[in-house]
Structure 1
Amino acid sequence: IVASGENACILHYNDNNKVMNDGDLLLLDFGVEYNYYATDCSRTLPVGGKFTEKQKKYYQAVVDVYKKLEKMFFVGNCIDNINLKAADLYNKMVVELNLATKEEVFYGDPQNPVTKKFFMHGISHFIGIDVHDVGSKYVPFENGMVLSCEPGLYISDENIGIRIENMILINDDKPINLTSEIPFEIEEIEKLISKNQYLSH
């Protein structure tokens, strides 16, 4: 998936016919296959090389959620527990970012939470021979399993779509980020782009 601007809010965008403009965010969801095993990774980059202040605020909120959720990938836990934690974090996030009111979040329809407007996909899935491999959200994690951790934030009214996705290896109580060599911190991304003439224009 390669999507910029408003198209980054389309989860499986594939038209690939939009010209990127300075000020857009570019969402990339990509992977390779190695020895018949799949990979899955997502990054969000600022077209032009620098995040705006508003983009930084939104992006950092996703980074903060990611870091809290990554710690939950340990033996014996399961995707369902991570989903519950993510729901709590998103409730707080949308209020802190002034995307929704406390009343909308905490007293709205529980069958159609307001957070679904800003985050509408799963937080994790198994990765193996298939990029979305089989496995129930209630299956306890075991050593050697690999899963995604992919929080996002989609604000269609502002043409902003952000996703950070890493592959996490279950390793007792110390999850290993298998895609850690691909930067996702704001300063790292801006520094990388500034050093590459092809990315900064």
Structure 2
Amino acid sequence: MAYLVARLFGSYYLSKQRHDSKVLHYYRRPTWRSLLLFLTFVVLSHVIAKKAPHPYLSAACYILAAYFSYLVTEKYEEVIFDKEKRKVSMMSSRFFEKHLLGYRRINVVELEEVMGVKVEKQKIMGSRGFMVSLVLDGITISLTAQCTFGERSEHDSIVKEIRQFLDLPTAAEQDKATTRVLTQTGGRNIKKRRNN
């Protein structure tokens, strides 16, 4: 019962669809609140369009409702780690793009470029949101466009699964390795300067 209540009234970050030795696949679908908001826009626009005195006003109502529901509804998002293709694919599409146009945005990253994975905090209107990000050489890329508020335990478990799947070091191990490399490089540079 608690699981059902959490799924209906809480927001989830990513759900796992497939996990084996070759592929790790996560997905996120719009929540019922987003779909309810979409239906509300459609019904309201239909009611207002029927009452409009001019056909251009009714057409404008439909166009505005479609535009606002496009902006407000959450995205369908997928993340696929594929060891055979040696790629990470991050796909996203909005409700209209997926069901009417069959369109989705795809970002692809080579697995060799992934140096780590971490949970990032986002501050939005005084609340803390969390999202999982891939650490590449010099930049971070978030797996999803949307963050979730509240607990970060779900995000930490996703980070742990990705680290195990890709055999990545933990954040503490990565920091120690970076510090060690910087210390060694810095020491060499100092010796070279003294010799010159």
When the two structures are superposed, what TM-score results if normalisation uses the length of structure 2? Answer: 0.26
| Higher strand content, 1 or 2 | 2
Q: Specify which structure has the bigger relative contact order, considering alpha-carbon pairs within 8 angstroms and separated by 6 or more residues.
A: 1
Q: TM-score, normalised to structure 1's length?
A: 0.26
Q: Which has the larger radius of gyration?
A: 2
Bigger helix fraction: 2
